[in-house]
Every structure is written in C-alpha cells, then in structure tokens.
Chains A and B, each alone.
Chain A
Amino acid sequence: MDWFPLWNSLRIAAISTVVIFITGIFAAWRIAKLPRFLKGLMDVILTLPLVLPPTVVGFFLLKLFGPYSAIGGFLIKSANIRLVMNWYSAIFASVVVAFPLMYRTARGAFESFDPTLRFAGQTLGIPNWKIFWKIVLPTCKQGILAGTVLAFARALGEYGATSMISGYTPGRTATISTTVYHLWRTGDDAQAYLWVLINVLISFVVLLTINYLESRQSPNQSAQELER
C-alpha cells in the first residue's frame, strides 16, 4: 500500500497551519483594534474564502500563480520554480481556505480580552510587545488553540482548490482527498474505503481535541466573569 497521500496531506496541512497560525494571529490582533468601519471591511475580505466555493479560490490562485501570470511567469523564467502542479502548490490553496477559521477564532478571543489588563501592563512599564506575548497570548490560549486545530482540520480536508492548483499525480501531488476522488473514479472501492476511514479517523481526533479545549473552561475566563 502506498502511504504517500497520507504523508503528503499531513505535511501540507502542517506547513499551512504554521503559516496560518502566525498570519492569523497577527491579522486578528491588528484588526481587533481597528475602528469599526475598517474592521468590518477587513473582516469581510479575510472571511470571504470561507464562504466562496473552493473552485473560485482555485481559479483566483491559478490566475495569480499560474505560468502565464506575472508572479508565476517571473519565477519560472528566473529560477525555474513552478508554483502550480507541485506538491507545495496545495499549501497555497489550504492556507487561503483555512485562514479565516484561525483568524475568526483568534479575533473572538482577542475581543473578549479585558483591555484593562493591557492598560495595567502599560502603566507598569511593560513594553507593548511583551504585553502581547506574556499577557494577551496566554490569556487567549484556549481560543487560539481551538482556531489552530480547526485550521489544521480544514487544511487537511481541502479538496476543491487543491485539485485545481496541484492536480492529482500519484506519488507526487496526491493528497487523501484527491486520492479518494481518483479511487472512486476508477471504481477501486476497497482502497477508497480505506482512505475514507483514515480521513474519518483523523477528523474524529481533531473534533475531540476541539471539544476538549472548549469544555476545559480556562480558570482565567471564569474568574473574570465572576468579577463582572
């Protein structure tokens, strides 16, 4: 049995999650502090990939990174790097599609963060970056972790945009989801069932993790609620 699709899916999801973790937190922190109108606008733009059909996302990505686009064309000519139809092309797709999940959960956590904690840190002379790392992030840990797991799950299950930008090449670009589609097309039910089972198992674990994180009400939050 060829385990490549599992390995490929996992590395794509893992790399995407790292990228999303950093950009999502950064965007959420910045946007949570914006004035209302700008916040609404940025929110719509960054959430759009969540509601658009993945094929639309795939279409945009191909127009952006394809060999005839400015970026894609330049990279092929100058460095012979082809951004599409490679295993890592799928990272673009899953980053764009899964980003809103991370961004929205993190933003929710930041918005429920008590600003007087930040003010207290500032009056004590703690630099703003340190307040963010030592006070804001630990306090919002639950929300951020939940967002990360959700984003990982979504990245792992990405199909539509991935199949457009990465295609299906066994042993090169095949992921679990594209493999299942291919096996169904070729009528290989036994193999298809196996991959479906693997996929269900992974999703199961992911959802269990999220539930665990959400049920484990952080002591900080409950204490703050008591004080109000």
Chain B
Amino acid sequence: MLKANFKKQLHTFELDIDFQADLEVLGILGPSGCGKSMTLKCIAGIETPDSGYIELDGVVLYDSARKINLSPQKRHVGYLFQHYALFPTMSVEQNLLTGIRPDQAKDSREKSKQVLQTLKLEGVEKKKPHLLSGGQRQRVALGRILLNSPHILMLDEPLSALDQFLKWRVQLDLLELFERWQKTVLLVTHNREEIFQLCDSVTVLTDGKNDAKQTVTELFSAPQSLSAGVLAGYRNFSKIEIIDLEKGLFTALDWGVTLDSPKLTQNALHCGAFSQSLKVLGETDQETQNVIPVACLHQFGKMENESLVCSTPGGDTGNSILYIELHKGETLPPGKSESFHVSIPAQDLIFFNG
C-alpha cells in the first residue's frame, strides 16, 4: 500500500499530490506537463518534495516533519521509465543481472534465466539493447525490475513509445503481469484507453493537483471536473444556466438550446456529452426530448464509424460545435451543410460544478 501526500513547487505550478494506492492498478491520468512524471520521481526518491509524507507498505520513505528522506536505493520502488533506461553498454543478460540486489544474489543466473523465459526473451540475451525492438526493450526493463523484487511497480507511459500494432500485445503482457504480480501498481498516462484497459482505479491530475480516486467506470460515467471530462474523452461541453432545478430544465448557453435532465444539480456550471451518445434523428423519428437543430460542417469517414462536426443554434466555433460519432448502421444525415436534428438522451448528459 502506498500513501502519498506531498507538495513541490515547480516552475509554473505547484505539485499538490494526495492519494492512497491499495493492492490495485492505480492510473494517474493527466495531460502532458501536469506533473505526472515528477510525482513518480518524488515517490522513487529521485526528486525531493518540498514537504509532505510518503509511505510504502508501512515503511516511511519521506517525511518532511521528521526529516526522513530515504535514498532511491533504499526505497525498493520499481520504476519503468518511458524510454526504459536500459544500460546501453551491457547485454540483455547483464542488464537483467544489475537488477538483482546483492543480498539476493544467490542463484542469480538461474533467476535471470527464468525471467528470460517468462518474458520470452530467449535468444536475445547476448544482444545489446539498441539491437532490440521496442517491445523487447520494455520486457527487458520489466524483467530487470522484477528481479529487483520491488514493493511497488510504477510505469511511466508504458505504451506511448510503442507503435499501434505492438500496443495491444504489450497491453496483454502487462495485464498478465499485473495478475501474477499481486502488488500495488501505479501507471501514469495521458491516454484514457490505457486507463480503461489496464487500471482498476484512477486519479486525474491537472495543473499539479489530483482529484479524488475513482473507479475507472466512475471516471467515464461521472468525471469530477471539466478537465477530467476532457481526459475521459468527452468532446461536447456547454456552459449552462439553470431555469428550473426541480424539473431539471436548463439552458445550454454554448449550444443555444434548452435541455432537461434529471441529473441536473444546483451547483452545475457546465454540461457535457460523449460524442457517441448523440443520436441523429431521421424524418420519421418521433423523439421530442433534448432535440437540437444542427448543420453539418465536416464529415469524416472511418472504418467503423462516421464522425460529424456540426454547428448548433449557439454558433459554429469553440464549444458551440457538436462532435457526433455514428455507429455502423445508424441513420446517416443528409450530407454536408444540410440541416437536421440530433437528440441527447437525458441520462447521458453529465454536469460539472467547475
């Protein structure tokens, strides 16, 4: 279990971290430059916070009040760097052997052989890292960490340096590893799909401050802030003005329409909707709730689905634009610059207090 509660002044903002990770895969989701990597570095002891408290499995790693600050060597933190940080002058095998701590050096050759086997690295053990593929490099780095038997595993953007094809393979490998590992895992990423596919729970980090921990499903159904909504993949946002709280009636200012939803809350300032939850209405549709007249500005065809960019009565710039994703077989709109209607199911609208 990891408890992290610390502050550190950075160039443009203050990092203010407060979370607890249990026996789970906890994702830290945030845009680039929000302090994600710095958070990991502080936990690993590579950087020192200005103040706060970090505890791992009952061992205090850092406590500014008691002036405790363990060196990275003593923290037993497994850190997978974004570019893996393999030692370039050493072979795969030598790299793996550096992971074994002297007090566990018994049978180290045997242990490294075993790791080579489980990570499917047989045959490349004598190669230098620059001759390996991206996926192999990551596996060597992971193997080196596993041989080190750390108390926590921290992954910094583990999939972003891999190409699309390798990604899903590595994702499977990681899931398998997490299952066997049975210890706390921290995973830092800017990609919501990685959170969705790899993590149990998630905390959103924006401008150095992290939201309360949520389950991954909660993040996608009820993000806690506008920025969390953006990271969770919401594309449509509008400022709102409440007309009648009891009836759930409000004006979506950016979209220039009046909508209603039972989920409306007193403090709501913005509403949002997934691009997939918008429905295009055909001539014969009888839908009357939350109907918005729109005009198509752009249309993108993809393999699986069609994306539309539409203007609303609110205008055709910024938040006034609606992004709609149609699934295969759904009614197609008449075509570019034609007008038609869409509806937002009341249950699919979400509200933000910020």
What residues of chain A have their CB less than 8 Å away from a CB belonging to chain B? 114, 116-117, 119-127, 134-135, 138-139, 141, 219-224, 226-228
29 A–B pairs (Cβ distance < 8 Å), ordered by A: A116-B81, A116-B85, A119-B79, A119-B81, A119-B85, A120-B79, A120-B81, A122-B72, A123-B45, A123-B46, A123-B73, A123-B79, A123-B150, A124-B145, A125-B76, A125-B101, A126-B73, A126-B98, A134-B87, A139-B87, A139-B88, A219-B128, A219-B130, A220-B128, A221-B88, A222-B130, A224-B88, A227-B83, A228-B83
Whether B229 sits at the interface, judged by CB under 8 Å, is no
Contacts of A117 in B (CB 8 A): 85, 87-88
In the complex, whether B78 has a CB less than 8 A from a CB of chain A is yes
Q: How far is the CA of A117 from the CA of B82 in the complex (A)?
A: 12
B232 interface residue per 8 A CB criterion: no
Q: How many residues of B contact A (CB 8 A)?
A: 30
Closest B residue to A227 by beta carbon equals B83
B12 in the interface (beta carbon within 8 A): no
Tell me the bound Cα distance from A219 to B74 in angstroms: 32
Residue with the greatest number of chain A CB neighbours at <10 A, chosen from B71, B81, B98, B148: B98
B77 at the interface (CB under 8 A from A): yes
B81:A226 contact, CB within 8 angstroms: no
Report A-chain residues with C-beta under 8 Å of the C-beta of B78: 123
A123 to B85, CA, bound (A): 11
B216 at the interface (CB under 8 A from A): no
Q: Is the CB of B88 within 8 A of A223?
A: yes
Q: Within 8 Å CB of A123, what residues of B?
A: 44-46, 72-73, 75, 77-79, 150
Chain A residues closer than 8 Å to B44, beta-carbon distance: 119, 122-123
Known contacts A119-B72, A220-B89: A124-B128 contact under CB 8 Å: no
CB of B128, distance to nearest CB on chain A (Å): 6
Q: Which residue of B lies closest to A223 (CB)?
A: B130
Q: Is B99 positioned at the interface, with any CB of A under 8 Å from its CB?
A: yes
Query: B144: CB under 8 A from chain A?
Result: yes
Tell me how far the C-beta of B139 lies from the nearest C-beta in chain A, rounded to whole angstroms. 15
User: What B residues does A224 contact at CB under 8 A?
Assistant: 88
The answer for the CA separation of A22 and B211 in the assembled complex, in Å, is 51
Q: Does B30 contact A (CB under 8 A)?
A: no
Inter-chain contact B88/A124, CB cutoff 8 Å: no
> B85 contacts which chain A residues (CB < 8 A)?
114, 116-117, 119-120
Q: How far is the CA of A33 from the CA of B98 in the complex (A)?
A: 24
Cα(A138)–Cα(B91), bound, Å: 13
Measured between beta carbons, the chain B residues less than 8 angstroms from A220 are 88-89, 128, 130
Query: Which residues on the A side are within 8 Å of B99 (C-beta)?
Result: 124
**Apart from the given pairs A122-B44, A124-B148, 12 other A-B contacts in the complex at a CB distance below 8 Å:** A116-B81, A119-B44, A120-B85, A123-B73, A124-B98, A124-B101, A126-B73, A139-B89, A219-B88, A219-B128, A219-B130, A226-B130
Q: Is the CB of B129 closer than 8 A to any CB of chain A?
A: yes
| A34 to B88 CA separation, bound complex (whole angstroms) | 25
**What's the minimum C-beta distance from B158 to chain A, rounded to whole angstroms?**
15
Shortest distance in angstroms between B162's beta carbon and chain A's nearest beta carbon? 12
Contact B81 A135 (CB under 8 A): no
Chain A proximity of B177: nearest CB distance (Å): 18
Residue of A114, A119, A122, A124 with most partner-chain B CB within 10 A = A124
Nearest-neighbor residue (CB-CB) of A226 within chain B: B130
Within 8 Å CB of A226, what residues of B? 130
Query: A220 vs B128: C-alpha distance in the bound complex, in angstroms?
Result: 9
Most chain B CB within 10 A, of A120, A122, A123, A125, is at: A123
Q: Which of chain A's residues has its CB closest to B85's CB?
A: A120
Near A by CB (< 8 A), chain B positions 130-185 give 130, 144-145, 148, 150, 161
Partner of A122, one of B46, B101, B129, B145: B46
**B79 CB contacts on chain A under 8 angstroms:** 119-120, 123
> Which residue on chain A has the smallest CB distance to residue B137?
A227
Nearest B residue to A137 by beta-carbon distance? Answer: B89
Kindly state the separation between the CA atoms of A127 and B74 in the bound complex, as whole angstroms: 10
A114 neighbours in B (Cβ, 8 Å):
85
The answer for the CA separation of A124 and B150 in the assembled complex, in Å, is 8
Whole-angstrom distance between the alpha carbons of A124 and B101 in the complex? 8
- State whether A122 touches B88 (Cβ < 8 A): no
Q: Give the shortest distance, in Å, between A222 (CB) and chain B (any CB).
A: 7
